[in-house]
Structure 1
């Protein structure tokens, strides 16, 4: 009975929050059902303590949860909404042997974080020239949480960054709580580093972000497989959009999932969920370059904010932020 009561309480709390957050845009149509679900859950729990009402309460709870789940499953992700300009275009790619043509690469020109000139381009990459993978971490709320994304390095100083984020609509802000309740679509930002890194180092002020770039140990076959898995994901999202989830389908867990294409991928760890510790986790498992250095030394060398601000957003931005001080 205690387990049943706990199940009722947890599911009722989830239903209340889901209705309050993901319900219709009209406030009373959202809050009204949420309040009713909350009150009903309290009533079901009280009735559970009375033997002659117990199974009627269970039946009523199952009926309520069934109705909520039917509504929940009616929420469908889409690529066709009134998106913010920075996520307005859906990236995709075509693969032909060793060449991959990536479409809708973002390369905005920023004057401030919110004042920019949109720009997008297409580019063809030669997989035989893929020579490295970097993990980029951006911190803005302490050492435990970071936004983590990857950047693929090609011969000749070319870099292509892919950042897994929420796709937000106009008038919509980001909330980690809303991210649990099908409020955002999953989006792969495919971008020039001058955009996706330069935005964070040179233009974000409220709050400012500290950005680190770490080179990952890799081999040609592993790099190719990892890059093509990202390509597969962006193409899949173009045809079949998905919802973002703050815990299960976010920037870091999706990187970890994509790494499964290679043997020897790291097991899931709390340091992946506490995303700020991802570089430390990679170091502990021998996955970062710069052997022989302590993690503190690698971290100091990886911090690029000062170099990015000195360089400015210039054509050789990627090379300048990687030059040791």
Structure 2
């Protein structure tokens, strides 16, 4: 044991070596002997080759199991980190909105849910359309993790394609609802789709179970876009066309779309949650979109994340 490595070799050779009791029966089998080296070093009598007592045998077993548990926890942590990195990369790719760079008066925020895989089912999208129009949407798939992110990607891509081919947001949600019936995990997803006509200063919109967007005016007043709300995707057993609504806006108004993670709190009524958001919008409505987005997250206490993920779009019209 005086030569380097001899001690470790001795205990490595003890793997699966039985320790016999006075009656000749096996009392303990030392497995993964290399894991108990530091334990044995701390007990001089064992270093000298003494027999294990019952208490010492149990201590060795507990020590080995604790190290095994530590190893398994580390493996789980590494697997979790790999899955999260894969999912974050996937979600960043799916949330890429090439037309967004053309909208300098638009701010977007995406905050993964705190305490989860940090990859979830919320999304946002901005799509330029002909005749001085653009489409904007936010949506929310139930659940977290890679499965929710994958479903989100399918729904977002489908809606992004459909809104380019149909004129009204309600019709786009009709098509998306039919598509969602064939996508596992898509039912009960919520989404709001709007089309902004910058020439006519008009917003057309339709919602499938989603919290209402808000149009904030420079004087601090606001309008809730809640006149075209339907249940979440696939909530009805039969297909029913989604409702359609529209309203005019004035240049300088601010259009805010978000997912429920921004406002909902456990045990709180949705009206109180909306009131908190509109109060914050009234206080900070004079901010530019980037500053307003940050102020909203701070006022609502979710700058560092929330129990649910958050997607937020702030547009100065």
- Fold shared, TM-score > 0.5 on shorter chain: no
**Which structure dedicates a bigger proportion of its chain to helix?**
1
Structure number with greater Rg is: 2
Q: What TM-score do you get using the length of structure 1 for normalisation?
A: 0.28
TM-score, length of structure 2 as denominator length: 0.28
